[in-house]
Structure 1
Amino acid sequence: MADKIHCIRKTLRLMPQEAEMLAKKAGESGMCEADYLRLLISQKPNDYPEVRELLKELINEVNRIGININQIVFNNNAGLYSKEDKTQLVAYMRKLNKKVNEAVVQIGNQ
């Protein structure tokens, strides 16, 4: 998009709170307002900065939970598996499902 010249000018009227929200979201994304609006009209929802950040957090959480699950499975294979480990494993899986569902809801609301 950097090679293209923006030659068509559009006038946009916003309510004060809308203008404030646009400025805030563009600033959080490190973009000027015009670039942020271009991103919104040209990209898919999963390309939005908010969605990318949410997915990054979700991936990190899944990785942390995966490490814990691997440790429990290793202990099970070594014969060191206990009832507490099973309880902990179920809790990790519930937490993982909750995080994924939260991400789906937030992405769906974008």
Structure 2
Amino acid sequence: MNLPNPIARLVATQNSFDSVAYAQCFSETAVVFDEGKTHQGRAAVQDWIAEANEKYKATMKPVGFEEKGAESVLKAEVSGDFPGSPLVLSYHLVIADDLIQSLKITG
């Protein structure tokens, strides 16, 4: 599957559990929506993914990708230490200047 650079980097850094490199995929003012919470800014994104990596140890396997106007949607099979694993989750992304501006994760 041919993914845009920021999304390919996001998957690679998630699968290596590198929260610093993961956060570098995002702009300084990026917003992440996950599990009913909002994380604003690159530092908050790094804290969120570091905590999630510790808690869930989740890896991603892309299974679908489409672009819908300004939004890209990555569907990924996510496996880890959580009930129902593996699950297919949708990652709704807005990308500008080769960085993720927003990410919303839905089931």
Larger helix percent = 1
TM over 0.5: no
Tell me the TM-score normalized by structure 1: 0.24
Whichever of the two has the greater Rg, that structure is 1
- Pick 1 or 2: higher relative contact order, CA cutoff 8 A, min separation 6: 2
Question: Which has the larger share of strand?
Answer: 2
Question: TM-score under structure 2 normalisation?
Answer: 0.25
